[in-house]
A and B are shown apart, each in its own frame.
Chain A
Amino acid sequence: MHEMARLWHVVKRNKARTAGIAILALFAFFAVFATWIAPHDPWQFGRAFLSPSSTNLLGTNDVGQDIFSELLYGARISLTVGFAAGLLAVTLGTLIGLLAGFRKGFLDNLLMSVTDVFLVIPTLPLAILVSVYLGPSMWNIVMVIGLLGWPATTRVIRSQVLSVRESGYVESARALGAGDFWIMRHHVLPNVLPLVIAKFVLTVAMAMLMEASLSFLGLGDPIDKSWGMMLRYAFLRGGFVGGMWWWYVPPGLAIGLCILGLTLISYSIEERSDPRLKRALDR
């Protein structure tokens, strides 16, 4: 009972983060266990345009596939693309940021100029252009988003590295003969880690939204069950015009809830790693 009370206290204090994690856990559960919990095979054709009923909880689409099962399977594509692309982008961004922050001078200038260029390139139109040439595939989307999404992380990491490397304790470590690599591992990395995680979470959200947009535009693999693709077919094949809200409301809501969950988590991390902000907000 005492343990439960303590847990409840922690949950209450971090309401936002707990809610965020709960939402994502729910969708992760759908993604992992879709095969078992989905009432139908979402690729199985049947009677089209059925309204919601006890056999088809959210009705069926234009070729008679069960929409509820599609929704559960959709979590797989969205979460996989989001996390894979986010991981790629943040890894790249962190490495480049660390490198730039640590090697002042020419390399730093060069890397930062490249970062600035990437920051003002419109991501969605470029992603559209590249995906159109590469052809529809989930992994192409991961690659495109991953390779375009790193600059925001790089900027933040670099400025954090710059402030850490000028600090007193790093200077004393250097005076004691510590090498670049040692300092990076023991002082810089622990300091930038919360930021890296916060940026990762936001990048995953960005990637999920972008995947949905690209799929909606018709650049996803038509065989894959993704939320963006469901929205596309509902929009193009009569679901929207026919007022079948049970077809297009759930996938959009699912995308939005995942992004909401990720945003809540990232806020709470940023708040924790920036005590000034927390103080200001509590005032």
Chain B
Amino acid sequence: MERHRHPVAAIAGKTMRYLIVLFIIMSLNFLLPRLMPGDPIMNILGEEAYYGSAQVLQELKAQHGLDQPLYTQYIRYFGSFFQGDWGYSFLCMRPVLEAVSLHLRWTLALVLPAIFLGALLAAVAGALAAWYRQSKLDVGLSAFFLFCYSMPTYWLAMLLLFIFGFQLGWFPLGKVTGGDASGLAYLLDVGWHMFLPVGLLVVSKAAYDFLVVRNSVVSIYGEDYVLMAQAKGLSQMAVLFKHALRNAMAPLVTVTAIQFGAILSGALMVEIVFSWPGMGTLIFEAIGARDYPVLQGAFFMIAVCMLTANYIADMIYVWLDPRTR
């Protein structure tokens, strides 16, 4: 166990750690194209970016400082990185940072609601399953979430789109909006387009959390303070959602932080099926076009999201920890 520290010291320590991880990820981004097989200039600019003679190649190399020693390149890399120069995407015909930021918004529009609603769904379903354990409800919920947990999310996306899009025609076949709406109508249209992908991600997020909540509520069943609450005459539901569920909060935060990467990866794949213009679709197209700068930028941006999620989870711990209050 870690010794108890003053919350400010704990936060400072964590922050330092995350900055180091960020530095390592940036270094990885610098080293990968230079260490991997193939010509570094192509690895850095992307396969389609280079046409021309050996002389053009030399000029490009000089222009990007690739004829310099590695440590000079390294310093230059960090310099331009912080100035927002992440390279140029020939696929999107705009700077990488701009392309990645544009797509990131749409990915977050799927992932953030999915995380909150998914955790909520898991909390309610997990608590009910634990309370009525070994009942038909418990078995049914467990089986349902185990199924959703096991099946590849993008495959479920294909099924949903096939059934509710192609067959029943209740939902659009992809993209963000039908096009010609504005104002409130636009928002409603986007919401309609979001419904299937977000719904799917909510259920798959809940599938990760369900057992955690269920087991943590089961483990406090029969504890003195729960008996006390029941003896006070609180209703079943009040006991369940006020006392039992509070116990599941910390594990829920943990599992959200740990599984954030999995949810994000799931969202990236689901986007491709729904032609949702987020990072997943961007990555899919960049792979096809061998647009390496975009893939690097996307990797870095997703890493920043992961770090942020873990950082927030750490802050919530500090806040949840009764010793720091």
Min Cβ gap B289→A in Å is 11
Contact of B150 among A122, A128, A240, A256 (CB under 8 A): A256
Residues 225-283 of A at the B interface (beta carbon under 8 Å): 231, 235, 240, 243, 245, 248-249, 252-253, 255-257, 259-260, 263, 277, 280-281, 283
Residue B230 CB within 8 A of the other chain: no
Q: Decide yes or no whether A123 CB sits under 8 A from chain B.
A: yes
Query: Which of A116, A122, A132 is B295 in contact with, Cβ under 8 Å?
Result: A132
Q: Does B171 contact A (CB under 8 A)?
A: no
| Contact flag A126-B152 (CB < 8 Å), given A120-B307, A132-B292, A260-B146 | no
| Structural contact, A217 and B299, CB atoms closer than 8 A | no
Q: Looking across the interface, which residue of chain B has its beta carbon closest to that of A251?
A: B155
Q: Which of B150, B159, B221 makes the CB contact (< 8 A) with A263?
A: B150
Task: Encode B199-242 as 1/0 by CB contact (under 8 A) with A.
Answer: 00000000000000001001101100000000000000000000
CB-defined contacts of B219 to chain A, threshold 8 Å: 280
Which residue of chain A has its CB nearest to the CB of B310? A120
Q: For the complex, is A94 an interface residue (Cβ under 8 Å from B)?
A: no
Contact call B151/A134, Cβ cutoff below 8 A: no
If A124-B268, A216-B269 touch, does A133 touch B221 (CB 8 Å cutoff)?
Answer: no
Measured between beta carbons, the chain B residues less than 8 angstroms from A135 are: 37
Q: Which of A116, A121, A248, A255 contacts B303 (CB 8 A)?
A: A121
Contact A248:B155 (CB < 8 A) given known A129-B299, A217-B284: yes
User: Are B38 and A133 interface neighbours, CB within 8 A?
Assistant: yes
The answer to whether A243 touches B162 (Cβ under 8 A) is yes
A-B contact pairs, 8 of them (CB 8 A): A120-B307, A122-B265, A128-B287, A130-B36, A132-B292, A133-B37, A259-B152, A281-B133
| Alpha-carbon separation in the docked complex, A252 to B153 (Å) | 9
Contact of B33 among A133, A216, A280 (CB under 8 A): A133
Known: A129-B32, A255-B155. A121 touches B283 (CB 8 A): no
Q: Within 8 Å of chain A (Cβ to Cβ): is B254?
A: no
Range of interface residues on A (Cβ < 8 Å): 35 or more
Report if B125 contacts A (CB, 8 A).
no
Residues of B within 8 A of A129 (CB): 32, 295-296, 299
Question: Would you call A281 and B215 a contact (CB within 8 A)?
Answer: yes
Q: How far is the CB of A33 from chain B (nearest CB, A)?
A: 25
Interface membership of A61, Cβ < 8 A:
no
6 additional A-B pairs beyond A252-B152, A253-B151, A277-B215, beta carbons within 8 Å, are A117-B21, A120-B307, A122-B264, A231-B158, A248-B158, A263-B146
Q: Is the CB–CB distance between B158 and A283 below 8 Å? A: no
* Total A-B pairs, Cβ < 8 A: 132
Interface flag for B154 (CB, 8 Å): yes
Q: How far is the CA of A170 from the CA of B264 in the complex (A)?
A: 43
The answer to whether B32 and A130 touch across the interface, beta carbons within 8 angstroms, is yes
**Chain A residues at the B interface, C-beta cutoff of 8 Å:** 116-117, 120-126, 128-130, 132-135, 209, 212-213, 216-219, 231, 235, 240, 243, 245, 248-249, 252-253, 255-257, 259-260, 263, 277, 280-281, 283
> How far is it, in angstroms, between the C-alpha of A26 and the C-alpha of B118 when the chains are bound?
33
- Interface pairs A-B: 4 shortest CB-CB: A252-B155, A256-B151, A133-B36, A260-B150
How far is B287's CA from A128's CA once the two chains are assembled, in angstroms?
8
Specify which of B152, B222, B283 is in contact with A125 (CB 8 Å cutoff): B283
- Chain B, 154-188, contact with A by CB distance < 8 Å: what is the 0/1 string? 11101100100011000000000000000000000
B 115-172 contacts with A by CB, 8 A: 133, 146-147, 149-152, 154-156, 158-159, 162, 166-167
Interface of B is mostly: helix
Residues of B near A281 (CB, < 8 A) are 133, 215, 218
Cα–Cα, bound, A248→B219 (Å): 41
Q: Are the CB atoms of A134 and B36 closer together than 8 Å? A: yes
Instruction: Give the docked Cα–Cα distance between A219 and B287 (Å).
Output: 8
A212 to B154, CA, bound (A): 10
Tell me how far the C-beta of B317 lies from the nearest C-beta in chain A, rounded to whole angstroms: 15
Closest-by-CB residue of B relative to A123 is: B261
Are A209 and B162 touching (Cβ within 8 A)?
A: no
Interface residue from A133, A216, A240, A252 paired with B43 (Cβ < 8 Å): A133
Q: A128-B283, A281-B218 are in contact. Are A133 and B310 (CB under 8 A)?
A: no
Residues of B within 8 A of A243 (CB): 162, 166-167
Whole-angstrom distance from the CB of A105 to the nearest CB of chain B?
16
Query: CA separation between A219 and B284, bound complex, in Å?
Result: 10
Cα distance A218–B284 in the bound complex, in angstroms? 8
Q: Which residue of B lies closest to A256 (CB)?
A: B151
Provide the residues of chain B in CB contact with A134, threshold 8 Å: 36-37
A262 to chain B, nearest CB (A): 9
Query: If A125-B303, A133-B43, A255-B155 touch, does A245 touch B37 (CB 8 Å cutoff)?
Result: no
Q: Name the A residues within 8 Å of B265 (CB-CB).
A: 122-125, 213
